[in-house]
């Protein structure tokens, strides 16, 4: 059995971070690491990963519906039109992370997402960095925080006008979207994305 795996009362094996909090467990069981290939889905996760930078994912997940409401359902077309008045409104919204740099980055990234449509779109661009193999961690400590692909993706996105897309944040995005499978060996979710064999 992998180190850091906990068997739940439902007899399913999960990593410790997803084993106790019902919200995190549901996210782990149903969403994390499952393939997302549409612009809207990828843009939302890119935005949330940027807001998560320096914070816990649980904090973001608890505020997710508030983020969706505040950011027009993560519609790039609407967000691209946000002006200073909207930024000031967001900065007093206690339901989200009130960070000016991250709010401005989300607006910038919405504009960059629209521009990227001329070259196949955001989802195709992000998935083009899928590696030839995926990690097979037996312990949480064995899960990488960056990869050559996440470094390359970060550089490529910055060139396209994106912000808050550092290599670590992009690796977390790759994990969330199923581009890599970092489920621990022995987890009930290992290999369930259909992208990588168990």
pLDDT of residue 198: 65
The count of other CB atoms within 10 Å of the CB of residue 9 is 5
- Give just the sign of the alpha carbon dihedral 155, 157, 162, 165: negative
Rounded Cα distance between 145 and 118, Å, is 31
Rounded Cα distance between 192 and 196, Å, is 8
Active site annotation includes 49: yes
Q: For residue 14, what are the β-bridge partners?
A: 6
Contact present, 67 and 48 (Cβ < 8 Å): yes
pLDDT of residue 5: 87
Active site annotation includes 27: yes
Rounded Cα distance between 108 and 196, Å, is 33
Q: Could you say which of 49, 127, 149, 171 is catalytic? A: 49
Contact present, 162 and 108 (Cβ < 8 Å): yes
* Entry pTM: 0.95
Contact present, 42 and 34 (Cβ < 8 Å): no
pLDDT of residue 1: 54
Per-residue pLDDT of the chain (198 residues; tens, 9 = 90+): 567 888 988 999 999 999 989 999 999 999 999 999 999 999 999 999 999 998 999 999 999 999 999 999 999 999 999 999 999 999 999 999 999 999 999 999 999 999 999 999 999 999 999 999 999 999 999 999 999 999 999 999 999 999 999 999 999 999 999 999 999 999 999 999 999 876
What is the C-alpha radius of gyration for the chain, rounded to an integer number of angstroms? 17
Contact present, 164 and 50 (Cβ < 8 Å): yes
Active site annotation includes 28: no
Burial of 194 (0-12, 13-18, 19+ CB in 10 A): exposed
pLDDT of residue 66: 98
pLDDT of residue 2: 63
């Amino acid at each position: 059995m992998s180190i850091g795996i906990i068997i739940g009362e439902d007899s399913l094996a999960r990593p410790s971070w997803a084993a106790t909090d019902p919200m995190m467990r549901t996210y782990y069981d149903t969403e994390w690491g499952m393939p997302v290939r549409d612009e809207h889905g990828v843009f939302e996760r890119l935005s949330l990963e940027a807001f998560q930078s320096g914070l816990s994912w649980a904090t973001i997940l608890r505020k997710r519906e508030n983020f969706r409401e505040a950011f027009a359902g993560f519609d790039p077309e609407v967000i691209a039109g946000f002006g200073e008045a909207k930024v000031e409104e967001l900065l007093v919204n206690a339901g989200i992370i009130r960070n000016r740099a991250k709010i401005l980055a989300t607006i910038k990234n919405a504009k960059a997402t629209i521009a990227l449509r001329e070259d196949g779109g955001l989802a195709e661009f992000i998935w083009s960095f899928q590696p030839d193999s995926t990690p097979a961690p037996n312990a949480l400590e064995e899960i990488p925080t960056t990869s050559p692909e996440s470094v390359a993706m970060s550089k490529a996105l910055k060139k396209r006008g994106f912000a808050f897309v550092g290599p670590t944040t992009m690796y977390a995005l790759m994990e969330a979207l199923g581009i890599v499978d970092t489920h621990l060996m022995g987890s009930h979710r290992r290999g369930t994305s259909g992208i990588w064999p168990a």
